[in-house]
A and B are shown apart, each in its own frame.
Chain A
């Protein structure tokens, strides 16, 4: 292990170049293939869908998630590193699967967070996670999924179809509150959302309902910002934020 330092830098440049080039190529391919799915349905069926329907629906989704298109890549970049970014935003399930996998791998080989070793280890770990995930999805959902649904009795399928959304949301919200551990923002979000959804929406025109979540998000951000603990900020120089 007496390789000269410049050679190691060349190796790292080679790694960066390969992951950057192929990250871009594979992500663009993935983007085109995945977006082709709804467009194929739109053009192959005649369901009387107008472009305005799609624009309105897209705006409703963008109003809630638009900020995450930018915020999420920025948030995950320090954890994943450049190479991991191209993997994570293709494979999905970042916070519930990929980031935990990377952390487990880094602690297994004892790589310090923020080092080059940690970043390489995260990339290898995400490759392992991708293989496991792709195989389980292909076999259990792709091949056996419809069969699994078909052997499930109708009343259970019906209940699953009707109530899957509240069954996911209750758990995810609790997990989110526990993970973020921000008492003040949590209380503000719950109160603001309850006021918007239960008090404002029922007495407003139907249009308001489409944007209820967006209104709650914006109001919560503004109130949380003005109600933030300013003492914490003033002492942030000393790196004792928590």
Chain B
């Protein structure tokens, strides 16, 4: 039994329970096992794709190197989120399976239904567990539909886009844009420091993307979110300590 109190805001005490570490380690192990099996499958059957062993190894290496930047960016975000969710939940949800943006937004929405906001006064252990439950169940739905849809898509992959190509090209983009626009604008009325974080992060991202294009530096695009987050936090730090922070 873990010592827990509904009104306590000490998330770490329950979020770092030993069994959760075991579960997180098991998820990592499953992913490594999958990668090993898949790599063997590619190596053994590469000829079917007119691919040499050298090309198989080159693909593996290129994928690994390309992942270094994004992985460190995810590490940066994960470390920043540790106080909110504890280590094992951050490893499983933000490090793997989901992404920082999706999971933080989901947790924020879930906390909102309890009348609390992430990291705010009302962010108790109870709110944390409800938020983690909601983001985990949502993540589970993603995987369930992947399990169901992949074989179906394999059989008739372009059937959906044939039925209504315009619908399929408009709905996902509009939904993504609206979700992030609404979530971002929700931060605006909270405090001047929140505005500073949003604006600085947006400006730093825009600069990174422009520089990445002008100078043809692809790594900058991979690193952009990590850099933007640091920029946003620095701006928030300055405004917060100037006395315009969250109440």
* A14 CA to B138 CA, complexed, in Å: 33
Q: What's the nearest-Cβ distance from chain A to residue B2, in Å?
A: 5
- Find B233's partner among A58, A115, A123, A163 (CB 8 Å cutoff): A163
Contact assessment for A53 and B113 in the assembled complex, using a CB-CB cutoff below 8 Å = yes
Contact assessment for A22 and B185 in the assembled complex, using a CB-CB cutoff below 8 Å = no
Contact assessment for A170 and B92 in the assembled complex, using a CB-CB cutoff below 8 Å = no
Which of B55, B193, B245 is most buried by chain A, counting CB atoms within 10 A of its CB? B55
Q: Which size class do A's interface residues fall under? A: 35 or more
- Find B28's partner among A73, A134, A140, A178 (CB 8 Å cutoff): A134
Q: Is B211 an interface residue (CB 8 A)?
A: no
Cβ contacts A to B, 12 pairs, < 8 Å: A11-B47, A45-B4, A54-B130, A108-B62, A128-B59, A128-B61, A132-B71, A149-B79, A162-B245, A173-B181, A189-B174, A198-B185
Contact assessment for A216 and B31 in the assembled complex, using a CB-CB cutoff below 8 Å = no
Contact assessment for A164 and B245 in the assembled complex, using a CB-CB cutoff below 8 Å = no
Find residues 20-36 in chain B having any chain A CB closer than 8 Å to their own CB. 20, 23-24, 26-28, 30-36
* A146 CA to B115 CA, complexed, in Å: 28
* A30 CA to B146 CA, complexed, in Å: 13
Interface size counted on chain B using CB atoms at 8 A: 176
A137 touching B75 in the complex, CB below 8 Å, given contacts A127-B63, A171-B224, A188-B174: yes
Find residues 90-138 in chain A having any chain B CB closer than 8 Å to their own CB. 90-98, 100-102, 104-106, 108-109, 111, 115-117, 119-134, 136-138
* A180 CA to B57 CA, complexed, in Å: 32
* A217 CA to B183 CA, complexed, in Å: 11
Which of B80, B91, B204 is most buried by chain A, counting CB atoms within 10 A of its CB? B80
* A122 CA to B190 CA, complexed, in Å: 43
Q: What's the nearest-Cβ distance from chain B to residue A100, in Å?
A: 6
Q: Is A205 an interface residue (CB 8 A)?
A: no
Q: What's the nearest-Cβ distance from chain A to residue B92, in Å?
A: 5
* A236 CA to B142 CA, complexed, in Å: 31
Chain A residue, CB-CB nearest to B99: A93
Contact assessment for B47 and A8 in the assembled complex, using a CB-CB cutoff below 8 Å = yes
> What string of 1s and 0s marks CB contacts (under 8 Å) between B129-149 and chain A?
111111111111111111101
> What string of 1s and 0s marks CB contacts (under 8 Å) between B221-240 and chain A?
01011001101110011001
Contact assessment for B47 and A71 in the assembled complex, using a CB-CB cutoff below 8 Å = no
Contact assessment for B27 and A34 in the assembled complex, using a CB-CB cutoff below 8 Å = yes
Contact assessment for A130 and B174 in the assembled complex, using a CB-CB cutoff below 8 Å = no
Q: What's the nearest-Cβ distance from chain B to residue A195, in Å?
A: 10
Contact assessment for B131 and A57 in the assembled complex, using a CB-CB cutoff below 8 Å = yes
Q: What's the nearest-Cβ distance from chain A to residue B51, in Å?
A: 5
* A8 CA to B48 CA, complexed, in Å: 5
Chain A residue, CB-CB nearest to B21: A142
Contact assessment for A38 and B170 in the assembled complex, using a CB-CB cutoff below 8 Å = no
Residues of B close to A198: CB separation below 8 A: 185, 188-189
Residues of A close to B74: CB separation below 8 A: 93, 96-97, 133, 136-137
